[in-house]
Amino acid sequence: MQRRGLAPGAGGGQPRGVPSPELQMIADLLRTTAPARAGTAVEEQRVQFESVGAVSPVPEDVTCSPVVAGGVPCEWVHAPAAEESGRVLLYLHGGGYVIGSIATHRLLAARLSAAAGARVLVAGYRLAPEHPFPAAVDDAVAAYRWLLARGVAGRSIGLAGDSAGAGLALAATVRARDEGESLPGALACFSPWVDLALRGGTMVTRAEGEAVVPPALLSGWAAAYLSGADATAPLASPLYADLRALPPMLVLVGTEEVLYDDAARLVERAVAAGVEVTMEVFDDCFHLWTVLAPTAPEASRAIDLAGAFLRSHLEA
């Protein structure tokens, strides 16, 4: 396993342990105006999150095309650098399985497309509480099978996601393996939420400083998604899944996240199962800092790392 701790400004001039002014400003803002709060109605949470995506348009040279993939509404997002590449990234957005959409993650997909030289298929999978577990897993697997059916080789496909989307990417890969499908060539997990039982120690030790997803919010999302199912069911919480034979995995996490222990325990279990894992830890970064590219240099660095990882593991 490769495991490195990165100063947030690595490659951008900031000394270790000192967040960039941009990151610090956004962290301070989020602690008072986060787009989702525990106790807020789901519809209001969704509207607030969508409003964040609305102010983040993609670059003009990025192509976005809607498509239905295996019955799942999706969108192709690709930067010019990806036009001649055979690499494909199936991206599963975060939002606790309750909020989030193609629109909220379109800009992140565009940045990843440029960095990885890959066409990105962003999946608009069904959300809870209207569609509880395992609806999201069903949709993710359906979109992946659609890619395989269109002739894209598994070794050319990466599965990626942030937060719940990272957990979903893992769950979909585990299910594809168990059902005999060709496996993707790589997994990229940003701030992964892989334990809906919320047993990680940093759920307590880092709760006070969490700027984006306080434990009470995660608890509500987990209850909505599980709808009575076991929180440790392997496809709901892939931390508890058999991880053997999974493809090379990249895990990015910030030191300030309540989900830090989700990432650390996932890496530990994956390495024990024989999976090739690269873990990158970003000092002073909060949950989903990766969506802040190009505003915050920490986010741009994370996207560059993910792009390099995917280029090195996916066949073009």
198 three-state secondary structure: coil
Percent of the chain with pLDDT over 90: 78
For the chain, the structural domain boundaries read 2-313
Q: What is the DSSP letter of 126?
A: -
pLDDT score at 11:
31
Q: Where are the beta strands (DSSP E) in 246-300?
A: 249-254, 277-282
DSSP secondary structure letter of residue 292: G
When pLDDT is cut at 50, 70 and 90, the band that residue 15 belongs to is very low
Q: What is the pLDDT of residue 17?
A: 60
The whole-number pLDDT of residue 10 equals 34
| pLDDT tens-digit series, residues 262-288 | 999 999 999 999 999 999 999 989 998
Q: How far apart are CA 311 and CA 313, in angstroms?
A: 6
Strands across the sheet containing 249-254: 2-6, 277-282, 249-254, 186-190, 157-162, 88-92, 119-123, 72-78, 63-69
Position 14 scores a pLDDT of 37
Per the annotation, the verdict on 298 as an active-site residue is no
Contacts of 21 (CB under 8 A, 6+ apart): none
The confidence score (pLDDT) of residue 293 equals 84
Catalytic residue among 20, 163, 191, 237: 163
105 is catalytic: no
CA-to-CA distance for 174 and 195, rounded, in angstroms? 15
Q: Using CB atoms within 10 A of its CB, is residue 65 exposed (0-12), middle (13-18) or buried (19+)?
A: exposed
First to last CA, the chain: 24
Token output for 46: 């969704």
Split at pLDDT 50, 70, 90, the class of 16 is very low
pLDDT at 69 over 50: yes
Give the tokens for residue 239: 């931390």
On the question of pLDDT at 121 being above 50, the answer is yes
Given 256, 257, 280, 298, which residue is catalytic? 257
**Residues 18-28: what's their mean pLDDT?**
80
Catalytic status, residue 50: no
pTM, two decimals, is: 0.93
Report pLDDT for 35.
54
Instruction: Output the pLDDT for position 76.
Output: 98
Q: How far is CA 271 from CA 169, 187, 233, 262, 294, in A?
A: 18, 14, 20, 14, 32
- The pLDDT of residue 12 is 34
Of all helices (H) and strands (E), which one includes residue 224? helix 215-226
| Per-residue pLDDT at 74 exceeds 80 | yes
The catalytic position among 280, 287, 300, 313 is 287
Q: What is the DSSP string of 21-73?
A: HHHHHHHHHHHHH-S--TTS-HHHHHHHHHHHHHT-PPPTT-EEEEEEETTEE
Residue 25 confidence (pLDDT): 80
Q: How would residue 250 be classed by pLDDT, with cut points 50, 70 and 90?
A: very high
Round to whole Å and give the CA distance between 239 and 20: 32
Q: Which pLDDT band holds residue 199 (cuts at 50, 70, 90)?
A: very high
Assigned architecture for domain 2-313:
3-Layer(aba) Sandwich (3.40)
pLDDT over 70, % of the chain: 91
Q: Which residues of 88-105 are buried (b: 16+ CB within 10 A; e: fewer)?
A: bbbbbbbbbbbbbbbbbb
Q: What pLDDT is stored for residue 27 in this prediction?
A: 75
Measured distance CA(316)–CA(199) in Å, rounded = 39
- The mean pLDDT of the chain is 91
Beta strands in 269-311 (DSSP E): 277-282
124-177: pLDDT as tens digits: 999 999 999 999 999 999 999 999 999 999 999 999 999 999 999 999 999 999
| Partners of residue 6 on adjacent β-strands | 282
